[in-house]
Structure 1
Amino acid sequence: MSDFPEYDEIHAISDIHMGGNRLDFQILRETKRLANYIGWVGRQRSGGRVALVLNGDIIDTLAEDIHGYVAVDEAVATIQRIMKDPSFTGIWKALADFVKLEGHTLIIIIGNHDIELSFPIVQRLIITYLAGADLAARARIEFSTTGAGYTCMVGNARVYCTHGNEVDAWNYNRYEDLAKVGRRLNVSRSLDPSEWYPNAGTRMVKEVMNDVKRRFAWIDLLKPETSAAIGTLLVLDPSQVSKIGKLLSIVGEKVQGQKQADQRLSAEGFQQPSQDTTLPFTADRLLGPNLKAGILGAKASDGRSAEDMLLAAEENFNRPNANIAAAADSTLGTPQLILDSLTGWMRGVGKDEALRRALKDWLANDKTFDISDQDDTYKQVTAAVGSPIDFIITGHTHLERAIDMGGGRYYFNSGTWIRLLQFTGTMLKDTASFKPVYDVLINGKMEVIDQAKFGNEPFVMDQTSAVSIREENDSVVGRLTHVVGDGSGTPVEIKKFTGK
């Protein structure tokens, strides 16, 4: 008997992001398709052993109106609101129907937008909501919320699933601190907001992105964690400059999990992560080269050239023992420089040209839709996984991947179910070609984004991804697929690997 659960087949999806109590904050569109896909998985392998893996960021509490950065006292109410939201009720019903099926197991893995899943009271809520008092159905629901991922066997192949934020310094979960919050809740104690130190990605979302999203709903559909995205935000809303200045101190932050104190029996002493700005600050890193090139000719309010101020700011940020937070607020600091130079330059070229340049920086050397690209998540996760693992499945990046690692081992990223926007070279070629795109973006509303077409192609891509690992004819076959139509039919195969 194996040390790990055994299945005839598993199906993995991730980055569903159910959440947002207003429609413009809901980035999941294909809700009916998802509910039907869950039903399709439930119909596979009658009499066999089937697992559905929800591989992180299943809900999105960062899109909810919670106090602070993590829902503690309001965790149950927040999850209940998401479950009862008319946009998502069909999905939860499909999951409830799934766990009623004999031989079928639902595995829920934590991500970085749904960290409340680690709380015992939330897990109990979900189990009761899906299975009620049915003990057999309750036993078919498993959680993996300690950062260990989930390992199982399909045939003679070992499969490892993890969300992927574990290797992302911006979005790393401090699992020991989450366990302490769970202990607080279990003994009817609360958490003072000052005790919780959020990761850099959470701060970016809560302190900057959510404000921008209220005006420009589409901003969430691009990966905003990249540094060049800051230039895009500044073009859209220069008032964000003060908040971005505060975030500069954590750009390049390296979270050193091995240095965290292991205090498993304590509910005290929340760990403040190490901040190691090992990546030097540069204007290119912050703005991107295209946007920087545009502002270099501008003059600051005191008459200095933008180039002189950029150089001064970089020296200020990178000098030994510099106080980065103070530097960001100083007269030489980058925020005021950006505000002066960017707004001055934009008076001459217009906001549409500024945004076009910012987007070109954002998408430079773009390999978003190259399923064979060995991105950072691939490199770091595969480096941490031992050779006995035959199939690795991640999520987190929203970028689907299918890579042959060699030696009969394979890597998949299950992509996402949220809306995806694709900017082509033609769209960003020049100001004239970008103008119709700009008009849609500056409108900002999700329904306009959904209806937009350029060159007879929808602006929002019709792409919802899944990964399956199945035992077939004495072999184990892994597939990256697209779920299409209403989701009730067999997904379309994109890439197939046959293992041992």
Structure 2
Amino acid sequence: MGDFPNYDEVHVISDIHMGGKPGFQILRETKRLANYIGWVGRQRSGGNVALVLNGDVIDTLAEDIYGYVAVDEVIATVRRIMGDPSFSHVWQALATFVKLEGRTLVIVIGNHDIEMSFPTVQRLVVSYLAGDDLKARARIEFSTTGAGYTCTVGNSRVYCTHGNEVDAWNYNRYEDLAKVGRRLNAGRSLDPSEWYPNAGTRMVKEVMNEVKRKFAWIDLLKPETFAAIGTLLVLDPSQTSKITKLLPIVGEKLQGQKQVDQRLSADGFQPPEQNVPTPITVDQLLGPNLKAGFLNAGSASLSNADDMLLTAEENFNRPDRHTTSVDGTLGTPQLIWDWITGVDKDEALRRALKDWLVNDKTFDMTDEDDTYKQVTADVGPTIDFVITGHTHLERAINMGGGRYYFNCGTWIRLLKFTEDMLKDTASFKPVYDVLINGRMEAIDSAKFKGNPFVLDRTSAVSIKEEKGKVIGRLNHIIGDGTGEPETKQRVEKP
């Protein structure tokens, strides 16, 4: 195993999502994060310790950038994130970390921080964290080509990858990212029309960010299933046309191996090859609870939800439409919704959220979700520990044969709905009032039956050599982050 760096301990966190301006930020526990970084730096005195930031470290999709990828404004954008008062102490903690002997910081690319692949951004990060300290600069590594990061702890091989590599909606086209990097190095720019974003990026930039301006909590919900689209349609039916245009890409399978390999070229951006996707109908998007609300709302002449939404959209766009709201405004989302269904919005949202949580295993750390299945299927038998992120959902799974899989979850806010909350319209009313308020402050302060609405859950994975054995742990970082993490799952490699 001498081909890979060896550590006494590796600590992995993912999906920090530093980005956005106040009110638009989904990372909350920044002081805890800074203290945790300091805690990692104090471990194993005299030993070798790595801290792996396993993708989505920053979130440029939450920034006011022109287009889908920051190019000409990339340095200003990353500098803004580093200097934001909400995040600056995290970067200061990272700077302290890389100045410590025997410490290594590894930054793995995700799908919200693709600009980390640009040489200009990497130089900025290194200079910001290490200045002119050559030893500190050498302690910073980047993995931004889609290869993940491999190292060893004791006799075990550890493989870290973000996880979007197996997500057809959020796959990074690494050769195109390399072309952008070459352009920036060569003093050339990128016309926004040249960049073909993946479906996940388009959904965030074209739909989610607009809805998020009114409902700041929308991207805190997990998992991102078809029923999630139903929730978006309830909150803002005016997004219908954008959503339905994006949905065919759900079936997109990217053929990365067929992309033209132009290592010395910065030209020729091409949309990725796609399989012809199975058409996705609005009928499929709406779960049974929400669809029942549609079909029982008196629209007997319309056979399905596609017809309903199409008719509503056509009527909404007619110049002679006459429906008005109480304040005289034409075409508000509530009016569209009322016109389609006749279902009150609170009941529609309750139904949509119930559909979202059907057979829900979101918070089951042993659930073998799609990311687990697809990543582990592509990992060879010599890997002892596989660590991902991306889904924001922590996992600890025994793969058999002394091999283990972890998903290190996230540090952003997470919301958890219960059956009691969604039981009926009356029980949902206080929840609805918080959700429709929309502001992050309302979400943060909300409690139901004495329990906070926002889960206090910040996760990490550690792989350590202890007394000749290699121990893997899924941990919760608690309190102010300065103390020992709380172990949720412990495994020991035979």
TM norm structure 1: 0.92
Residue 261 (structure 2) pairs with residue 267 (structure 1): no
Tell me the CA shift for residue 364 of structure 1. 1.3
Counterpart Cα distance in 2 of 1:427 and 1:153? 45
Counterpart Cα distance in 2 of 1:312 and 1:459? 34
| Counterpart position of 1:379 | 373
**Alignment of structure 1 residues 173-322 onto 2, 5 Å:** 173-223=172-222, 225-298=224-297, 305-308=301-304, 310=306
8 Å contact from structure 1 (residues 414, 467) kept in 2: yes
Tell me the CA shift for residue 243 of structure 1. 1.3
Counterpart Cα distance in 2 of 1:17 and 1:238? 27
1:56 partner amino acid = G
CA-to-aligned-CA distance 1:323-349 (integer Å, 9 cap, x gap): xxxx99999xxxxxx9999533543x3
**Alignment of structure 1 residues 419-438 onto 2, 5 Å:** 419-438=413-432
2:376 partner amino acid = T
Tell me the CA shift for residue 271 of structure 1. 2.4
| Counterpart position of 1:402 | 396
8 Å contact from structure 1 (residues 480, 495) kept in 2: yes
Counterpart Cα distance in 2 of 1:283 and 1:207? 18
CA-to-aligned-CA distance 1:73-117 (integer Å, 9 cap, x gap): 011100000000000011000000000001100000000000000
Counterpart Cα distance in 1 of 2:282 and 2:288? 8
Counterpart Cα distance in 1 of 2:57 and 2:286? 32
Query: Between Structure 1 and Structure 2, how many residues are aligned?
Result: 478
Tell me the CA shift for residue 279 of structure 1. 3.5
Counterpart Cα distance in 2 of 1:306 and 1:430? 27
| Counterpart position of 1:11 | 11
Could you say if the C-alpha distance between residues 282 and 309 of structure 1 is closer, same or farther in structure 2, counting changes exceeding 3 Å? closer
Counterpart Cα distance in 2 of 1:65 and 1:203? 14
Counterpart Cα distance in 2 of 1:254 and 1:298? 37
Query: SS where residue 179 of structure 2 aligns?
Result: helix
| Counterpart position of 1:365 | 359
Residue 67 (structure 2) pairs with residue 68 (structure 1): yes
Counterpart Cα distance in 1 of 2:489 and 2:124? 37
**Alignment of structure 1 residues 25-64 onto 2, 5 Å:** 25-64=24-63
Query: SS where residue 217 of structure 1 aligns?
Result: coil
Could you say if the C-alpha distance between residues 394 and 454 of structure 1 is closer, same or farther in structure 2, counting changes exceeding 3 Å? same
Tell me the CA shift for residue 280 of structure 1. 4.2
| Counterpart position of 2:475 | 481
Tell me the CA shift for residue 248 of structure 1. 2.5
Query: SS where residue 25 of structure 1 aligns?
Result: coil
Counterpart Cα distance in 2 of 1:313 and 1:352? 19
| Counterpart position of 1:449 | 443
| Gaps in structure 2 of 5+ consecutive residues | 316-332
| Counterpart position of 1:356 | 350
8 Å contact from structure 1 (residues 298, 306) kept in 2: no
| Counterpart position of 2:338 | 343
Could you say if the C-alpha distance between residues 88 and 340 of structure 1 is closer, same or farther in structure 2, counting changes exceeding 3 Å? closer
Counterpart Cα distance in 2 of 1:264 and 1:285? 42
Counterpart Cα distance in 2 of 1:80 and 1:206? 21
Tell me the CA shift for residue 261 of structure 1. 1.5
Counterpart Cα distance in 2 of 1:262 and 1:50? 36
Could you say if the C-alpha distance between residues 308 and 169 of structure 1 is closer, same or farther in structure 2, counting changes exceeding 3 Å? closer
8 Å contact from structure 2 (residues 457, 476) kept in 1: yes
| Gaps in structure 1 of 5+ consecutive residues | 315-326, 332-337
1:376 partner amino acid = D
Q: Percent identity?
A: 75
Moved more, 355-364 or 31-40: 355-364
Counterpart Cα distance in 1 of 2:90 and 2:363? 27
| Counterpart position of 1:321 | none
8 Å contact from structure 1 (residues 169, 255) kept in 2: yes
Tell me the CA shift for residue 245 of structure 1. 2.6
